[in-house]
């Protein structure tokens, strides 16, 4: 059980870390996706500047982020090494969601950051649409990672309830065994009195 708890920690911490990073983009993504007003040139320039700064950040930051992501994968592999039924359901579904998020990060977000940095938008998808795809990818990735957290907390709750039910069943069996032994002792006492 301690290994499973540590592995859960290895999953939850990187997931929360990446959600925190996505939260830092929210002030820009909100204007890109849900603003009722058309995007002004100043807003577009601010969003592009933000994404360009992210793309030009020192390589150690990207390596740190990738190490955190790999730590989450390591947590899944530790939990699925000797899987129980609970692991197969909750951790399997969590791993699928985590991989979906990883694929979205690798395809949409990194590619979008590089496109914004280079300024070479495609003819099919323009400048504003590229920024909207980036913002939508952030929102979808956040929802996927929240799904991972919900599944991990659901597994914790299910295991806790199962432990309580097993403890109650063991206590009930012990009480029945004590009653049976007490009844057997009474019967033995009665038999010994009849013999005397």
Helix 92-104 and helix 59-79, axial crossing angle in degrees, nearest 10: 160
- In a domain, residue 127? The reply is yes
Q: What is the pLDDT of residue 2?
A: 58
Q: 54 in a domain, yes or no?
A: yes
Residue 3 confidence (pLDDT): 58
Which pLDDT value is given to residue 1? 53
Question: Residue 49: inside a domain, yes or no?
Answer: yes
Which residues, 6 or more positions from 108, have their beta carbon under 8 angstroms from its beta carbon?
Answer: 133, 134, 137
- Residue 175 domain-assigned? no
* Residue 186 is assigned to a structural domain of this protein: no
pLDDT the model gives residue 113 = 87
What predicted TM-score, i.e. pTM, was given to this entire model? 0.79
Query: What is the model's pLDDT at position 196?
Result: 60
Let me know the angle formed at the C-alpha of 37 by 35 and 42, rounded to the nearest 5 degrees.
90
pLDDT at 98: 93
Sign of the CA dihedral with 160 first, then 161, 166, and 172 last: positive
Q: Is residue 105 part of a domain?
A: yes
What secondary structure letter does DSSP report for 84? -
Number of domains in the chain: 1
Distance between CA 134 and CA 137 in Å, rounded?
5
- pLDDT confidence of residue 13: 92
111 within domain boundaries: yes
10: domain range? Answer: 2-151
Q: Tens-digit pLDDT profile for the chain (196 aa)? A: 555 678 888 899 999 999 999 998 888 888 888 877 778 888 888 888 888 888 888 999 999 999 999 999 999 888 888 777 767 788 888 999 999 999 999 998 988 888 888 878 777 778 888 888 889 999 999 999 999 999 988 888 888 888 888 888 888 888 888 888 777 777 777 777 666 6
d(CA 134, CA 38): 17
pLDDT value of position 72: 92
pLDDT at 17: 93
Domain assignment present for residue 134? The answer is yes
The answer to whether 115 and 131 have CB atoms below 8 angstroms apart is no
Provide the pLDDT for residue 4.
66
């Amino acid at each position: 059980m301690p290994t499973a708890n540590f592995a859960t920690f290895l999953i939850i911490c990187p997931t929360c870390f990446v959600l925190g990073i996505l939260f830092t983009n929210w002030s820009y993504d909100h204007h890109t996706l849900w603003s009722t007003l058309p995007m002004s040139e100043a807003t577009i320039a601010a969003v592009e500047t933000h994404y360009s700064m992210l793309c030009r950040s020192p390589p150690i930051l990207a390596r740190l982020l990738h190490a955190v992501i790999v730590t989450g994968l390591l947590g899944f592999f530790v939990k699925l090494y000797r899987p129980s039924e609970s692991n197969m359901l909750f951790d399997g579904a969590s791993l699928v969601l985590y991989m979906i998020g990883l694929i979205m990060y690798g395809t949409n977000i990194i590619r979008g950051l590089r496109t914004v940095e280079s300024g070479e938008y495609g003819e099919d998808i323009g400048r504003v649409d590229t920024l909207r795809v980036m913002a939508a990818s952030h929102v979808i990735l956040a929802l996927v990672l929240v799904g991972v957290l919900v599944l991990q907390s659901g597994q914790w709750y299910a295991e806790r309830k199962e432990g309580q039910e097993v403890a109650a069943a063991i206590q009930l069996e012990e009480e029945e065994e004590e009653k049976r032994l007490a009844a057997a002792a009474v019967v033995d006492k009665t038999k010994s009195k009849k013999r005397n």
